[in-house]
Amino acid sequence: MKTLKEQTDAKIAQGRKAKPEFMQGVDDIILKAKAFKPGEKAIKIGENAPDFNLPDANGDIISLSTLLHKGPVVVTFYRGSWCPYCNLQLRALQAKLDEIKALGANLIAISPEVPDGSMTENEISKMDFIVLSDQDAKVASAYGVAWEVPDFLMEHMRVDRKLDLENINNGNKNILPIPATFILSKDGVVIWNYVNVDYRTRSEPDDIIEALKSLS
């Protein structure tokens, strides 16, 4: 089976072939963004993770503190079910979910999408981990991974992708999470993290599993 990096690299290569000008524009924006170090305020290893209460696809409120009573928690922020890189990442995590659970951990995936009927029908919501909605990006902000998306990318999503993010995210039209993953020990302390403003690259599930093993 291909690693997640191999899958995302193939997706990037496909994009460069199909839309070279757009992908070059993304490269330029990511390079500029890295100069301003978005995500540098993300919670660090050794820090306590902020608690949260967020709705799942059915509108039920899920509390981080309640899950931590059961064991470690993997918290991953993704942009939405419309993002092909997010789908690759979450499928890869789904494939490793049995190993994650065998290590006593729960996996939570958080995006700004509204928990309505459409969310209960999308592919991600049917995976076997917890999917939560952070519509106003308050939790992403608390974790230091909220990002105001540049106009160039917003225009691409609106015109080329036909995405109405304001509707999808219930009024939040230009704040998305930086794709990031945090592993929390059962006492809520960050023991591992991955934060990268380049939404085309993601944490490798095998690295998450190795970090969880360190808690055993």
pLDDT digits (tens, 9 = 90+) for 66-84: 999 999 999 999 988 888 8
Cα distance between residue 85 and residue 185, in whole Å: 27
How do residues 71-124 score in pLDDT, each as one tens digit? 999 999 998 888 889 999 999 999 999 999 999 999 999 999 876 544 555 677
* pTM (two decimals): 0.83
pLDDT surpassing 90 at residue 8: no
Provide the token pair at 81: 């079910």
Residue 165 contacts residue 157 (beta carbons within 8 Å): yes
| pLDDT at residue 61 is higher than 50 | yes
Q: Measure the CA–CA gap between 152 and 87, rounded to whole angstroms.
A: 22
User: Is the pLDDT reported for residue 41 higher than 80?
Assistant: yes
Maximum mean pLDDT: which of 15-24, 26-35, 60-69: 60-69
In this prediction, residue 123 carries a pLDDT of: 72
Average pLDDT of the residues in 143-164: 74
